[in-house]
């Protein structure tokens, strides 16, 4: 499968999608699959990848939060260390 995003060809598509949605700052989620073809482990069965670019407005914090702060809660629950988990 030819990964179009590795050689920089994907950048213009992302920019165009953001522009088309009239966003200045955006969260971009590119989804790339093998495309049409038989299911299985062999990528040769698929001729061309399917590319979907999802963009949405970034929801940043209100300016008031930066000047006045915010309330937060810290939990006492501890997360397991990666070496404690059974692979």
Pick the range with the lowest mean pLDDT from 3-7, 10-14, 21-25, 66-70.
Answer: 3-7
Q: Considering the domain boundaries, does residue 2 fall inside one?
A: no
Q: Considering the domain boundaries, does residue 36 fall inside one?
A: yes
For 9-26, the pLDDT digits (tens) are: 778 888 899 999 999 888
- Where residue 29 sits, what CATH number does that domain have? 3.30.470.10
Residue-wise burial string across 50-84, b where 16 or more C-beta atoms lie within 10 A, e elsewhere? eeebebeeeeeeeeeeeeeeeeeeeeeeeeeeeee
User: Average of pLDDT values for 77-81?
Assistant: 78
pTM of the predicted model as reported, rounded to 2 decimal places: 0.56
Q: Considering the domain boundaries, does residue 43 fall inside one?
A: yes
- Cα 25–29–63 angle (5° rounding)? 30
**Which structural domain range is residue 47 located in?**
10-84
């Amino acid at each position: 499968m030819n990964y179009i995003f590795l050689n920089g060809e994907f950048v213009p598509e992302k920019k165009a999608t953001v522009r088309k949605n009239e966003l200045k700052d955006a969260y971009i989620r590119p989804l790339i699959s093998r495309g049409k073809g038989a299911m299985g482990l062999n990528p040769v069965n698929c001729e061309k990848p399917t590319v979907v670019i999802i963009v949405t407005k970034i929801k940043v914090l209100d300016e008031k939060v930066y000047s006045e702060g915010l309330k937060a809660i810290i939990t006492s629950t501890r997360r397991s260390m990666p070496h404690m988990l059974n692979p």
